[in-house]
C-alpha cells in the first residue's frame, strides 16, 4: 500500500507550534516548513497566505513569519502584493525554462569536472542516495523522493569544493521544484529518474567527462517531457 503523503505544514503547525525548536531561528524553520508545503502542493499556486494565521499555527509573533515570507518571495515561491496580501506564486513557464537553461550549464560543468577527478567517495555518496530514493519510490513518497533528488545534485556540486556552485544550483531550481513534484506522480517517472541518476554515476565511474556530460544532459532535458503534460493537466497553476 502506498504511503500517505507527509503533510509538513500541518505537522509543524499542530499543537500550537509543534515542530518549532527554540534553539534555532524561528524564521528559518518557518521558511522550511512553508517551502515544503508549497513544494508538496499542500499550499496551491494562487492561494493566499495569512501572516496572522501562520503566526497562530506556529505559536510565534508575526515578525519571523514576515521574515520567512520575504525569503520565499526572494526565490519566487510567493508574491507579496501591496494592499492585497501574500499569495503562493503561480508557475511561470518563462522562469522554469530560464532556470533549466542556467542549471543545465552548471550541472554539466559539475559532472565534467568530477569525471576528471573521480574518487570512490563521490561514487559511494551517489549510490547511497540512489538506494534511499528507491525506498522512497517504493513508498510512493514523492516529497522524500524529491528531497533526495535535490540531495543527489547538491552532493555532486559539493564535491567540486566550489561552495557557490551548490548555492547557485539550489537557487535556480526553485522554479522547477513544484512542477517536478507534480511530475513524480506521472506513470514511470520514479523509474526514469532513478535510471538517469544511475547512468550519471556510471558515467562518472568511467572517468569520461564526455559520457558524464551526456548522461547529465539527458537528465536535465527530461523537464521538457514534464512541461508537455503538466500545463495541460493543471492550467490553473500557470500564469
Query: In this structure, are 105 and 28 located in the same domain?
Result: no
- The tally of CA atoms less than 13 A away on the side-chain side of residue 62 is 5
pLDDT band at 157 (very low <50, low <70, confident <90, very high): very high
**pLDDT at residue 69 above 80?**
yes
The tens digit of pLDDT for each residue in 173-194 reads 777 777 877 776 666 788 999 9
The tens digit of pLDDT for each residue in 90-110 reads 998 888 888 889 999 999 999
Examine the fold and report which residue of 88, 107, 137 is the final residue of a domain before the chain moves on. Answer: 88
**pLDDT at residue 70 above 90?**
yes
| pLDDT value for 40 | 76
SS3 letters for the chain?
Answer: CCCCCCCHHHHHHHHHHCCCCCCCCHHHHHHHHHHHHHHCCCCCCCCEECHHHHHHHHCCCHHHHHHHHHHHHHCCCEEEECCCEEEECCECHHHHHHHHHHHHHHHHHHHHHHHHCCCHHHHHHHHHHHHHHHHHHHCCCHHHHHHHHHHHHHHHHHCCCCHHHHHHHHHHCHHHHHHHHHHCCCCCHHHHHHHHHHHHHHHHHHCCHHHHHHHHHHHHHCHHHHHHHHHHHCHHHEC
Number of domains composing the chain: 2
Examine the fold and report which residue of 88, 119, 152 is the final residue of a domain before the chain moves on. Answer: 88
Q: What is the CATH number of the domain that holds 35?
A: 1.10.10.10
| pLDDT value for 19 | 61
Query: In this structure, are 66 and 136 located in the same domain?
Result: no
Query: In this structure, are 27 and 82 located in the same domain?
Result: yes
Q: What percent of the chain has pLDDT above 90?
A: 54
Residue at grid coordinates 530560464 = 98
Q: What is the CATH number of the domain that holds 155?
A: 1.20.120.530
**pLDDT at residue 166 above 50?**
yes
**pLDDT at residue 165 above 90?**
yes
Residue 2, domain member (yes or no)? no
| pLDDT value for 186 | 64
The tens digit of pLDDT for each residue in 101-152 reads 999 999 999 999 999 999 999 999 999 999 999 999 999 888 789 889 989 9
- Residue 122 phi, psi dihedral angles, 5° rounding: -65, -45
Using CA atoms, how far apart are residues 224 and 226, in angstroms rounded to an integer? Answer: 5
* Residue numbers of the domain that contains 46: 8-88
How many residues are present in the chain? 239
| pLDDT value for 184 | 66
Mean pLDDT of 19-46: 85
**pLDDT at residue 207 above 70?**
yes
**pLDDT at residue 60 above 80?**
yes
Q: Which residues pair with 81 in a beta bridge?
A: 85
Amino acid at each position: 500500500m502506498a504511503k500517505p503523503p507527509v503533510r509538513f505544514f500541518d505537522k509543524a503547525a499542530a499543537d500550537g507550534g509543534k515542530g518549532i525548536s527554540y534553539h534555532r531561528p524561528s524564521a528559518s524553520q518557518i521558511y522550511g516548513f512553508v517551502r515544503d508545503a508549497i513544494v508538496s502542493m499542500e499550499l496551491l499556486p494562487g492561494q493566499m497566505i495569512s501572516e496572522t494565521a501562520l503566526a497562530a499555527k506556529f505559536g510565534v509573533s508575526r515578525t519571523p513569519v514576515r521574515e520567512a515570507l520575504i525569503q520565499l518571495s526572494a526565490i519566487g515561491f510567493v508574491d507579496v502584493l501591496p494592499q492585497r496580501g501574500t499569495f503562493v506564486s503561480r508557475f511561470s513557464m518563462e522562469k522554469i525554462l530560464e532556470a533549466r537553461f542556467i542549471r543545465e550549464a552548471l550541472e554539466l560543468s559539475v559532472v565534467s569536472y568530477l569525471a576528471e577527478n573521480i574518487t570512490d567517495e563521490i561514487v559511494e555518496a551517489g549510490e547511497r542516495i540512489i538506494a534511499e530514493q528507491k525506498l522512497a519510490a517504493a513508498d510512493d513518497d514523492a516529497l522524500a523522493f524529491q528531497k533526495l533528488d535535490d540531495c543527489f545534485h547538491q552532493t555532486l556540486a559539493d564535491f567540486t569544493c566550489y561552495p557557490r556552485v551548490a548555492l547557485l544550483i539550489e537557487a535556480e531550481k526553485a522554479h522547477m521544484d513544484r512542477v517536478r513534484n507534480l511530475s513524480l506522480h506521472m506513470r514511470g517517472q520514479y523509474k526514469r529518474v532513478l535510471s538517469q541518476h544511475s547512468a550519471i554515476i556510471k558515467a562518472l565511474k568511467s572517468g569520461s567527462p564526455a559520457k558524464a556530460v551526456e548522461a547529465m544532459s539527458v537528465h536535465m532535458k527530461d523537464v521538457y517531457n514534464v512541461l508537455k503534460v503538466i500545463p495541460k493537466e493543471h492550467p490553473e497553476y500557470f500564469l
